[in-house]
Amino acid sequence: MWFKVLLHLAFCMALFESTTSLNQSSFPEDFVFGTASSAYQYEGAAFEGGRGPSIWDTFTHKYPDRIADHSNGDVATDSYHRYKEDIGMMKDIGFQAYRFSISWSRILPSGNFKGGVNQEGITYYNNLINELISNGLQPYITLFHWDLPQALEDEYGGFLSPKIVQDYAYYAELCFSEFGDRVKHWITLNEPLMYSLQGYANGQFPPARCSKWISPNCSVGDSSTEPYIVTHHQILAHATAVKIYREKYQISQNGQIGISLNAPWFVPLSQSKTDIEAAYRALAFIYDWFMEPLYAGTYPAVMVNKVGKRLPKFSRKEYLMVKGSYDFIGLNYYTAYYVENVPCQRENQTMLTDSCTNYTPIRNGVPIGPKGASDWLYIYPPGIQDLLEYTKEKFNDPIIYITENGVDEVNDGTKSFDDKLRIYYIGQHLLYIQRAIRNGVNVKGYFAWSFLDNFEWTNGYTVRFGIIYVDFKNGLKRYHKRSALWFKTFLHQ
């Protein structure tokens, strides 16, 4: 009983600190505050404006039982039609930027040049960009947020094939050419880890490939090789797009280009040497897997050692292109885990077990932090400072944007706007970001996930990540949650 009372008291004190001691002026003058979204989760208009289907359209319609509430993104929050209303709300709150993704199949229905450019899609994004700028918000564009055109999956297996590199490059250059005169921040890929892991290691996301013994939902796939192949092609696609931008557009358009990577922080389950090593190894297999090639042109040595011949290699030409292929790094941070060392598997090896680690949010029956609505999300704000300082020290002090950070609540059918936990979450993470900045980390911005409640992938609409409440039962009406009003105060001080 007393433990619960003390825990509640600590929570209230932390909430008070996060809501009273911070405001926009607590951060550097050029620090950017914004919110984030993605096309499939927000736009809707799935069959309008000349858009072609993506693998998420196919997946949600073919396997509705794999979405918690059997829903899809056909309508989502209907931002395709309501973007002006949403931008007006962003402006009123005081945000300076909006991170959104382009639906690849909305501007290239066939995924490449073969089907031609959909001018209706180009017009939509031009209108969105212009509306943002006219309202004083800067567009931060993500080129790929998991919604691969279905045509490319059908034609050659999408990111399993090296052919994807040139088709992605064609798409990226089209965006640079059409929008780059106004867009100053480009993000090539969002969370490539999750695309590889969820799509090809455990098969929970499209294209739902994995070893048959991992999931009955996977009729095809190889969890021991395909995640590494897909990641390799994602990195090459990223680097190719960066090369094109730098050589043909960057000087005249005066923009920057980077990538958004996600990682939890890992805390050793015990202070044993093996668990401490396991924590760094877990981070290597999730974060350094991408950062090491982008920084140094090679995969982490521990991965080369553990994965062996299943891990692709960069050619000399690819090494030179990949190394240094970013102007900034986007970090998506949500949660943390305890990690312990476990014996390496000799049979049924997969990307999921190759790190020879096991991680859990619980130690001795106590969670690492308060739990969000999603099963994987436990609140551990110090982890964002740890991850930032790790990035600074290991990868030579890059420019960093926090491109996603947020927590969800259960959509229980009630119209509740009192999201105190989200205010605590955001406030505490901003405190630790501020401490990282004081310690010399070059953090330039923070984008809250998310502006609106939206389609949350396999969770459907059963959880809410927004600072704006969307009434999915009543015309998608928008309402400020308490966290939106907190942000309005925060950004106007």
Q: Would you call 324 helix, strand, or coil by DSSP?
A: coil
173 is catalytic: no
247 catalytic, yes or no?
A: no
Check if the beta carbon of residue 257 is closer than 8 Å to that of residue 139: no
- Burial track 301-320 (b if 16+ CB lie within 10 A, e otherwise): ebbeebbeebbbebeeebee
CA distance linking residue 411 with residue 348, whole number of Å: 38
State the angle between helix axes of 226-248 and 289-296 in degrees (0 to 180), rounded to the nearest 10. 40
CA angle 200, 202, 206 (to 5 degrees): 55
Q: How far apart are CA 491 and CA 22, in angstroms?
A: 10
Q: Return d(Cα 374, Cα 361) in angstroms, integer.
A: 13
Q: Which of 43, 131, 153, 191 is catalytic?
A: 191
Three-state secondary structure of 217-273: CCCCCCCCCHHHHHHHHHHHHHHHHHHHHHHHCHHHHCCEEEEEEECCEEEECCCCH
Catalytic pick among 292, 404, 409, 456: 404
Q: Are 126 and 178 in contact (CB under 8 A)?
A: yes
Task: Give the tokens for residue 12.
Answer: 């209230």
The set of catalytic residues is 191, 404
